[in-house]
Amino acid sequence: MTTSRFDIHEHITTQIITAIEQGVGDFQLPWRHAGQISRPRNVRTKQAYRGVNILALWAAAYSFGYTSATWGTYRQWAETGAQVRKGEKASYVVFYKELEFAREDAADAETETRLFARATPVFAAEQVDGFKTELAGNDREVEPIAAAESFVMAAGATINHGGDRAYYRPSTDSIQLPERHAFVGSATSTPQEAYYSTLLHELTHWTAPEHRCDRTLGKRFGDDAYAMEELVAELGAAFLCADLGITAAPRLDHAQYIASWLKVLKADKKAIFNAAGAASKAVAFLGGSG
């Protein structure tokens, strides 16, 4: 009997697609209904997960109702004195390992390096006994919106206000936003949060040119390059909102973008990995934790 090989790329992509489809209508990154958001962190290292692992764990948290944002392997939880409960289902993160192989052509070098994805099962704090969840917000020494203002200023982008649209214009290398008073709140975000989450979206677009992060910008709505860049910008904004303590605000053209993202994700199981990696690179360029 042949056992099908576990494909971590397909597994995580399917998990994220499912999370989006479950929440279509009220779905918004990073798959949280309201309130403060934060990056998933490892219980042993205290470091935030990066790239697609952020999305994979946000999606798992959304699906199962976890809110602690603290994750670890079975062994890591045991090292803290906690115990994963029997029967709990693991979520997965992915790490890449470099392995050397003999070159088939043996032209210039005898060996070549290849990247291999390694799937690692992890569990949320809600799945273990004997662990005290730290209260969210205790380590926030700076008022979140003030932190966002300082972060944006440090990036050095040219930001203009006026009109009724938000966009990044490559020809002038500048960001255009409506006046601050034009932003309105919603059931899950204040006007200030809506303003900064929009600005962080456009700031991620600003990192696209070759001399910054070198990404391809799409020409029109609906093409794959456009959808990928919009997904990168939304992920970048979501990562930055999590880092800066800002609740992400839903876009006005929300449903259209969700449809375009799903099209790309369903066509290419590695698209979300590439988009998340590009978003992390953009965040790191801007001075975030990447």
Q: What percent of the chain has pLDDT over 90?
A: 28
Res 252 pLDDT > 60:
no
Q: Which range scores top for mean pLDDT: 1-5, 13-17, 139-143, 265-269?
A: 265-269
Strand partners for 111: 102
The answer to whether residue 146 sits within a structural domain is yes
Q: What does the pLDDT look like over 49-92, one tens digit per residue?
A: 988 898 889 888 877 878 778 999 999 999 999 999 998 999 99
Looking at this protein, which amino acid is placed at residue 225?
A
The answer as to whether 281 is a domain residue is yes
What is the model's pTM?
Answer: 0.70
Long-range contacts of 161-166 (CB under 8 A, 24+ apart): 166/198, 166/199, 166/201, 166/202
Query: Does some domain include residue 3?
Result: no
Helix (H, G, I), strand (E, B) or coil at 73: coil
Domain that holds residue 239: 8-286
| Span 223-246, average pLDDT | 84
- Does 120 fall in a domain? yes
* 1 is a domain residue: no
Domain count, the chain: 1
Confidence of residue 157 (pLDDT cuts 50, 70, 90): very high
What's the number of CA atoms in the CB half-sphere (13 Å) around residue 155?
A: 26
- Cα(40)–Cα(125) distance, rounded to whole angstroms? 11
Residue 269 placed within a domain: yes
- Is residue 112, in this structure, part of any structural domain at all? yes
Q: Let me know if residue 54 belongs to a domain.
A: yes
